[in-house]
Amino acid sequence: MIRSISDLVVINLRNINIVNYAKYSSSALPRLSSEKYNIKRKNYGAIKPPDIDYFKSLLSNDRVLTEESDVLPFNIDWIKNCRGQSKVVLKPKTTEEVSQILSYCNDRKLAVCPQGGNTGLVGGSVPVFDEIVLNLSSMNKIISLDEISGALVCEAGCVLENLDNYVRDHNLIMPLDLGAKGSCHIGGNVSTNAGGLRLLRYGNLHGSILGIEAVKADGTVIDCLRTLKKDNTGYHLKHLFIGSEGTLGVVTKVAVHCPALSKSVSLGYFGVNSFEDVLELYKSAKESLGEILSAFEMADNEAISSTVENCKLSNPLEDYPFYVLIETSGSDESHDDEKLNRFLTKEMESGKIVDGTITSEPAKMKNIWNIRESIPGAGLLDGYVFKYDISIPLKNYYDIVLLLRKRMGNKVTRVYGYGHIGDGNIHINVSTPEYSKEICDMLEPYVFEEVAKVKGSISAEHGVGFRKPQFIHYSKDGTALQLMRDLKQCMDPNGILNPYKVLPDN
């Protein structure tokens, strides 16, 4: 039965900020990453009082943080898995300041950790030892918007949600949408090649980013900040910085192509009895909805239960093994409604949709999306969560969740899966009361071995960061890894940019 959601009661998580709520739900600090994962400090310089004096002369006292209490939040990732030992946070406001900072650090071999909104899940945005944190939150200006072409130019520290609100006022939309959009920065999105909820419709950032300005480790500013959709003049250098996680250069400005804002948007939330039906429903949605299909999300019962129980949300549907969110976006409401109603009628009669609710009211759509977007933070309230972000062929998409439930048994609190069916990306969460090395050893490298068996990827959209370099060989062979090392050596010969991240030592 498809029904409206006028009686749906939920907590609007935007009012409590699930990222901060989960991060600070416990006062206990995570262990130092170097101790927890047995990492040895490399031969970098140590920051000294004259270095602090230089940074204060370049910036200003209020943009050079050295007090332990001020620096601590920048040392910890939001899931409280990693903690660094940085003694200083720098907050530049201009590309020129970033250039001068990096040039100075490179000359003295002082390691640097570039940081945006610090919403990453693999430890890539926090230091491991005493790297200088280069936080770009003060570089948050919108430079220009071409309403005809849809080209937005802005600084790297702009918050994604702020950008989306800005371009919506001009009948455009940002091409990516993430659960962390209220905190994440566009520079961090680009540096990790973030995917998100609507990659199915708009593709990944390699296609949406028109141009980039970035600063190399030696302070050289690379100006590839063009707003053209076509530019075949030599190597496409912008792609070196998209997804390289700040290891090849620090992204300071971006040009993004923003699609037109859809006039007609609807969101359906459905109960489904089996994962086989989820796949059949996706196939049918592509065929029946075509160009108006903008998102197709899946969450299993345990994923939704975690949000209901931990975040005190109300589920508008009864218990089902799986839940599917389908969003449509178009320009003609009557045309879109006709296609959607035809699809719903067909799939209710087929039995693939058992129950559901559909709405086109913005407030109600936001409430439904909150159920899906709160899943990552909700699991943290169980205590500790092992998170895996993998790409798997759709025929094998859910198999690993079943394998892990069997393998982990009652040693863990929950094992659940949710993600983006439209691009083959599943997020697997394994929650426990606290971090356990025994549990970690049962999960890793087992998860990555299973991914490799079906030729999947160990990182779909979160990046490799600090947590996965030792496992990257499950997705990239030796020749590819050597080429990556060659690029790193060419771009950052002293290795000062985001060390201990992305590439393994051997």
Q: Domain check: are 51 and 198 in the same one? A: no
Domain of residue 116, CATH code: 3.30.43.10
* Model confidence band, residue 25 (pLDDT cutoffs 50, 70, 90): very low
CA 97: distance to chain centroid?
A: 27
Domain count of the chain?
3
222 is a domain residue: yes
Q: How much is the pLDDT for 221?
A: 98
Domain of residue 358, CATH code: 3.30.70.2190
Q: Domain check: are 175 and 313 in the same one? A: no
> Is 167's pLDDT higher than 90?
yes
> Is 148's pLDDT higher than 60?
yes
Average pLDDT over residues 217-236: 96
Q: Domain check: are 385 and 308 in the same one? A: yes
Domain holding 110, by residue range, is 26-135
Q: Which residue stretches of 244-398 are H helix? A: 275-289, 301-310, 333-350, 362-373, 375-380
> Is 18's pLDDT higher than 50?
no
Q: Domain check: are 245 and 277 in the same one? A: no
Q: Which two tokens stand for residue 31?
A: 């262990």
Decide which of 135, 169, 195 is a domain's last residue: 135
pLDDT in tens, 29-72: 999 999 999 999 999 999 999 999 999 999 999 999 999 999 99
Distance CA 291, CA 222 (A): 37
> Is 186's pLDDT higher than 60?
yes
Q: How much is the pLDDT for 441?
A: 97
Q: Domain check: are 124 and 173 in the same one? A: no
> Is 464's pLDDT higher than 60?
yes
Q: Domain check: are 94 and 195 in the same one? A: no
Distance CA 389, CA 271 (A): 24
DSSP symbol at 161: H
pLDDT in tens, 265-310: 999 999 999 999 999 999 999 999 999 999 999 999 999 999 999 9
310 is a domain residue: yes
292, β-bridge pairs: none
Lowest mean pLDDT of 15-29, 220-234, 327-341, name the range: 15-29
Average pLDDT over residues 423-440: 96
